[in-house]
């Protein structure tokens, strides 16, 4: 496995050239605790996991030594296992999940609403045209603070397609932010992964989620 620090520096520089202040979430779902600790030693603050089991394994070893982002689909019955340990949830996409968070959270949870901008059947997320109404409905949930929107781009190398998706999320994020709803400041855009983080940054990402290109995968032969 390649050392994380130089790769992180390179990605940081690329992002800083686009705009200051874009946060990198290192996605550690494909590596173990030791490699995750290497990420922290390299100066990475934000870590992302997509399954409760993987998150809890790392959380038990690292605890408050990182800022924790849960980026995967979250089954309602798993909410109680993680909700009071994470700092950000990137996958709020339905009222049943909001209800369970409201019931289980002991403090306000910073949430991204996941939006299915590309409208692929295989993807979860609220549809773009339903996003503003969905967020309005969340007004009565005092445990939920909508800090932004998140999307997964299609698996394509077509830059125009990717740009359109990222632009779509940015436009929606600004629409929600303009409402000035106290429960939904909605200042953030979580978009961009290993193959497209730079495009996402150019289109207004404030958080990019990078796994393979930064942390690698432990099954990867070197
Ligand atoms: C795995 C994952 C990522 C990171 O993917 P890479 O292509 O490895 O960078 C980002 N976001 C989500 C939601 C993921 O599940």
Interval 99-114 mean pLDDT: 98
Q: Is residue 222 part of a domain?
A: no
**Ligand 1 pocket residue status of 71, Cβ below 6 Å:** yes
154 CA to centre of ligand 1 in angstroms: 12
Distance separating alpha carbons of residues 201 and 30, to the nearest angstrom: 23
Q: Is residue 175 part of a domain?
A: yes
Residue among 26, 162, 211 whose CB has most ligand 1 atoms within 8 A, to mutate = 211
Q: Is residue 67 part of a domain?
A: yes
Q: Is residue 158 part of a domain?
A: yes
Q: What's the distance, Cα to Cα, between the start and end of the chain in Å?
A: 6
**Ligand 1 pocket residue status of 46, Cβ below 6 Å:** no
* pLDDT over 90 percentage in the chain: 97
- Rounded to whole angstroms, what are the CA distances from 47 to 38, 55, 99, 126? 12, 9, 26, 24
Interval 183-198 mean pLDDT: 98
Q: Is the pLDDT confidence value at 72 over 80?
A: yes
Q: Is residue 37 part of a domain?
A: yes
Backbone angles phi, psi at 74, to 5 degrees: -120, 115
Q: Is the pLDDT confidence value at 175 over 90?
A: yes
Q: Whose CA is nearest to atom 12 of ligand 1?
A: 71
Interval 93-111 mean pLDDT: 98
What's the whole-model pTM score?
0.97
What is the span of the domain harbouring residue 142? 4-217
**Ligand 1 pocket residue status of 212, Cβ below 6 Å:** yes
Domain count, the chain: 1
Interval 171-181 mean pLDDT: 98
Assign residue 99 the CATH number of its domain.
3.20.20.10
Q: Is residue 141 part of a domain?
A: yes
Angle (nearest 5°) at CA 89 between 202 and 4: 60
Ligand 1: atom nearest CA of 90 is 13
């Amino acid at each position: 496995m390649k050392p994380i620090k130089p790769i992180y520096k390179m990605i940081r520089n690329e992002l800083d050239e686009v705009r200051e202040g874009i946060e990198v979430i290192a996605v550690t779902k494909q590596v173990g605790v030791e490699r995750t600790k290497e990420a922290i030693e390299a100066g990475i603050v934000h870590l992302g996991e997509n399954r409760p089991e993987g998150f809890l394994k790392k959380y038990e070893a690292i605890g408050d030594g990182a800022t924790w982002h849960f980026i995967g689909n979250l089954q309602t019955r798993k909410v109680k296992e993680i909700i009071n340990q994470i700092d950000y949830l990137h996958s709020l996409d339905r009222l049943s999940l909001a209800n369970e968070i409201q019931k289980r959270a002991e403090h306000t949870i910073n949430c991204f609403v996941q939006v299915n901008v590309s409208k692929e059947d295989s993807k979860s997320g609220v549809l773009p045209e339903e996003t503003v109404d969905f967020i309005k409905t969340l007004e009565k949930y005092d445990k939920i603070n909508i800090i932004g929107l998140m999307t997964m781009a299609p698996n394509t190398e077509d830059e125009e397609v990717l740009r359109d998706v990222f632009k779509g999320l940015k436009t929606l994020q600004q629409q929600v932010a303009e409402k000035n709803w106290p429960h939904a400041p909605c200042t953030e855009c979580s978009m961009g992964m290993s193959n497209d983080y730079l495009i996402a940054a150019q289109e207004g990402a404030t958080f990019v989620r990078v796994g393979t290109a930064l942390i690698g995968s432990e099954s990867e032969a070197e």
